[in-house]
Amino acid sequence: MRGIEKFFKEKTENLTFIELKSSANTKFNKFKLDSNVPLPILVDELITEIKERRAQDEIKISSIIRGMIYTIGVDPNFPYIEKYRDILYSFDEKIEDFILYNGVKFIKEGLLDDGLIYLRALVVLNDKNVDGLYNYGVALEERAKKYLELRDEKRANMFINEATRQFENILEIDDEYPLAYYKLGYHYRLNKQFIKCKIIWEKFLTLSKDEELKEEIKLNLLEMQDDIVYEEGYNEIFIGDPVKGLEKLLPLKEKYTDWWNLLFVIGLGYRQIGDFAKAKKEFESVLSIVPGQVDALNELGLCLANLGQYEEAIEKFTESYKKRPKDYEILCNRGMTYLQMGILDKAKEDIQKAYDENPLDEITIACMKEIERIEGMTR
Tens-place pLDDT, residues 203-255: 999 999 999 999 999 999 999 999 999 999 999 999 999 999 999 999 999 99
Q: Please check whether residue 377 is in contact with residue 365, taking contact to mean a CB–CB distance below 8 angstroms.
A: no
Transcribe 28-42 into DSSP letters. ETTEEPPTTS-EEEE
Cβ proximity of 74 and 15 under 8 Å: yes
Asked if residue 181 lies in contact with residue 196, where contact means CB atoms within 8 angstroms, the answer is no
Per-residue confidence band for 56, with pLDDT thresholds at 50, 70 and 90: very low
Number of neighbouring beta carbons within 10 Å of residue 335: 28
The band of 45, judged by pLDDT with boundaries at 50, 70 and 90, is: low
pLDDT of residue 40: 82
pLDDT at residue 2 is higher than 90: no
For the stretch 117-151, pLDDT in tens is: 999 999 999 999 999 999 999 999 999 999 999 99
**pLDDT at 26 > cutoff 60:** no
Per-residue confidence (pLDDT) for residue 370, from 0 to 100: 85
Q: How far is CA 44 from CA 104, 114, 120, 309, in A?
A: 21, 13, 21, 76
pLDDT at 12: 83
Q: How far is CA 290 from each of CA 23, 40, 226, 262, 325, rounded to the nearest angstrom?
A: 76, 58, 22, 13, 19
The DSSP code sequence of 341-359 is TT-HHHHHHHHHHHHHH-T
Mean pLDDT for 24-32 is: 56
Mean pLDDT of 273-289: 97
pLDDT confidence band for 55 (50 / 70 / 90): very low
Residue 52 has pLDDT above 80, yes or no: no
Residue 160's Cβ-count burial label (10 Å; 0-12, 13-18, 19+) is buried
Residue-averaged pLDDT of the chain: 90
How much is the pTM? 0.83
Tens of pLDDT, residues 58-89? 557 888 899 999 999 999 999 999 989 988 99
Question: Hey, which of 28-32, 169-173, 372-376 has the most confident mean pLDDT?
Answer: 169-173
Residue scoring higher pLDDT (301 or 47): 301
